[in-house]
A and B are shown apart, each in its own frame.
Chain A
Amino acid sequence: MSSRKDQNAAARLVREQIAAEKRRKRTLYISIAAVSALVIAGLIGWGVYASSKSGEFTAPRNTNSAGSGVVTGSGPVTVDEYVDFLCPHCKAFHDDYAAQIKQLADTGKITLVTHPVAYLDGASTNQYSTRSSAAAGCAADEGRFTEYADALFAAQPAEGTAGPSDDDLIALGKTVGLGDPFAQCVKDKKFVNWTDHVTTEAGKAGVSGTPTVLVNGKPVQATGPAIAAAVAAASGTGPTPTAS
């Protein structure tokens, strides 16, 4: 028979073991719960993103065969420009070099493909990037993309504010001769899904910022001289390589 003191010590040991065991179990359950919470959070993100993607789209007239950009001119060298109508660098690029690039297209040197992407929807309070791009699609459908793009850049709102409303975009169209069919097109949000398509295709092409310029599929600095040099180099090499 052991003494009462020994019994107490043994009991304490058992209690401590039980407490340790409980603590281990609790830690396990909390860990499982924490990991589950993180996994669920990730799945929510995936779900939100997946549900925001739209499926079917109609491309406006005057776009390329992939429906990912608006075509101006029909020269042998392909120049892709990716712009967001809300992006300040794109406005600077447009203000400085649009005339020069348009001349290359007008003189039959290049096929200009403009991709009006909506990368900056987070930078306006009313998804101005998407709405201005979709409205530009309406303008392209009417054959007045270049004029409307000029007007959009001239009226560019500041980042972080509410951009012009759809009514404002329609009024802006009137100033460059876009009438009722254009107004109806903007109101119907006819090319919003097309904008989504343009944006997705740009992302797949590895374009992660605006403005981005590709000459025959190769990235070129977004300046007039750099583009002119790349176009000259591409034209000088005989048969035109296919743009990717």
Chain B
Amino acid sequence: MSSWHRAQPWVSLVVRLALAGVFLTAGLLKVGDLAASGRAVNAYQILPYDAAMIFGAAQPFVEIALGLLLLVGLATRLAGWISAVMMVAFIAGISSAWARGLNIDCGCFSKGGVLPPGVTPNYVPELLRDAAFLAMAVFLIIYPLSRFSLDARLDQLSTTDEAFEEYDDDNGEDEPAAPAARQRRP
């Protein structure tokens, strides 16, 4: 076993928990005022008003749910894909606001809106930050296996002798494949 092979589940754990923290924070900061979250989406002037309000109301809840999936490590690779898609959408939204010269707060970790007069938005740090989150999501797509995850726990449960027993008739004799399967797991 290479050292990367041993370290990868730990690195994935750190990335998974960090991304969980990102989504939980973003969601919890916005969930208390859904109308404000909707107005932040509306400020991008991409969706019509009513659609923006619904999108803005749904988004914090989806972010919290996604954060919880990442926190417990359930469906990690899928959660990574969804995170990546969301980050691409956020990056596209901010870039488009920038390109159109809109003067807005991105509403990423706040309720957003139009900035007070005289305040020029700096979209570069926001884009770099979202790019870093995108990289974390892609890492989880490539290396979804992590320590202390529900995925690994479920995997363990199904790779026991019992799981093999039902397909043969040797009644409780140790399965050669089981210990090997257990060993393989991070």
Contact = CB atoms under 8 A, between A and B. Distances in A.
A49 B74 contact: no
B115 A38 contact: no
Contacts of A46: 54, 57-58
B57 A49 contact: yes
Contacts of B42: 203, 206, 208
B128 interface: no
Contacts of A204: 49
Given A16-B177, A41-B65, 6 more contacts: A26-B154, A41-B61, A42-B59, A45-B62, A122-B33, A203-B42
Nearest to A37: B65
Interface residues of B, number: 54
A119 B35 CA distance: 8
Contacts of A31: 75, 78
Interface residues of A, number: 45
Given A31-B75, A49-B38, A203-B49, A212 B158 contact: no
Contacts of B125: none
Nearest to A40: B65
Given A11-B168, A122-B32, A45 B177 contact: no
A30 B74 contact: yes
Contact of B69 (A15, A18, A37): A37
B163 interface: yes
B154 A19 contact: no
Given A41-B62, A49-B53, A122-B111, A12 B176 contact: yes
Return the 5 tightest CB-CB contacts between A and B, nearest first: A122-B33, A49-B57, A209-B114, A41-B65, A45-B61
Chain A at the B interface: mostly helix, strand, loop or mixed? helix
Contacts of B43: 208-209
A212 B61 contact: no
Nearest to B52: A203
A27 B77 CA distance: 10
A208 B62 CA distance: 23
Interface of A: 11-12, 14-16, 18-19, 22-23, 26-27, 30-31, 33-35, 37-38, 40-46, 48-50, 52, 89, 119-122, 199, 203-204, 206-209, 212, 221-223
A170 to B, nearest CB: 26
A204 B169 CA distance: 70
Interface string B5-39: 00000000000000000000000000111111011
Contacts of A212: 114
5 contacts: A19-B163, A19-B181, A45-B57, A48-B34, A208-B113
